[in-house]
Amino acid sequence: MECPPNETLARYSEKSLNTVESALVRDHLIHCEACRGRVNEFNAVDEGLSRPRMLTPPLEIEKSVLRRLFPVLPTYGAVFAFVAASLLLLITWIYVYFDFANNSLIQAMQVTSNRLFRLMGGLIQGISTIFSGVYAGFKAISKLLSALTNINLPGEIILLGIFILTVGTVFAASRVFPRKQRGQSQSRAL
């Protein structure tokens, strides 16, 4: 038998010849050292290829895909901050509108003999004092801004601006620091 072509030897090596073809090659190999050498080489190639080194992909792949497909929802902290900021804005507006610090009803509550009324009056007065301080701060910023830039913005607008800025910052932070994905290992091994 003449030396079989390399393709036949390769197929013999990967055991994809039929029984007859395989027997013919086997008989030939007994007395042909050159073909035996080539079969050994094909065996080595097959064996080497059967053990590919697999890398562990970086964790960022799955995280990044999820971030791109499903934008992260605001965290509980962000929702809480949003509600708190809204409440703060609402109470300030009520305080400014009704002028609680000088309201006669509140003053009357504070001088009544009923302990509960006195307590409530004191509480409202306390909150009013804090808000009047905060509001005075905003008015001061407004005056300063007006002096520096000739732009006359009322304190309420500045308050609204700060409110929007706060909410925006909280939302941006919740996007930058999303909640951790579960069930992902930290290893990166070969």
Partner 1 sequence: MILDDDQKLIRRILKGDRSSFEKLMHQYNKRMFNFIYRMVRDEEVAVELTQDFFIKIYTVIQKYNFQYKFSTWAYRICYNLVIDHVRKNPVYVDSLDQNPLTRKQLARTDQVVREDGFSVLEKREMSDYIWSVVDRIPEKYRHLILLRYQQGLKYDEIAGVTDLPVGTVKNRIFKAKDLIRKEISQDGMSSQ
- Report the interface residues with partner 1, using CB under 8 A: 6-7, 10-11, 37-38, 40-58, 60-62, 64-66, 68-70, 181
Cα–Cα–Cα angle for 113, 118, 123, rounded to 5 degrees: 180
Least separation in angstroms between CB 177 and partner 1:
20
Whose Cβ is closer to partner 1: residue 62's or residue 99's? 62
Structure tokens at 150: 């000739």
Shortest Å distance, C-beta 4 to partner 1: 13
Shortest separation between residue 42's beta carbon and partner 1, angstroms: 6
Q: Which is nearer to partner 1, 50 or 186 (CB)?
A: 50
Nearer to partner 1, 31 or 115 (CB): 31
- 3-state DSSP helix/strand/coil % of the chain, to nearest 5: 75, 0, 25
Minimum separation from the CB atom of position 160 to partner 1 (A)? 36
DSSP 71-123: PPPPPHHHHHHHHHHHHHHHHHHHHHHHTGGG-HHHHHHHHSS-HHHHHHHHH
DSSP-based three-state secondary structure for 188 = coil
Nearer to partner 1, 57 or 133 (CB): 57
Q: Which of 178, 5, 149 is nearest to 78 (CA)?
A: 178
Minimum CB separation of residue 47 from partner 1 in Å reads 7
Based on CB atoms, which residue is closest to partner 1, 28 or 38?
A: 38
What CA–CA distance (Å, rounded) separates 41 from 47? 10
Structure tokens, 27: 């008989």
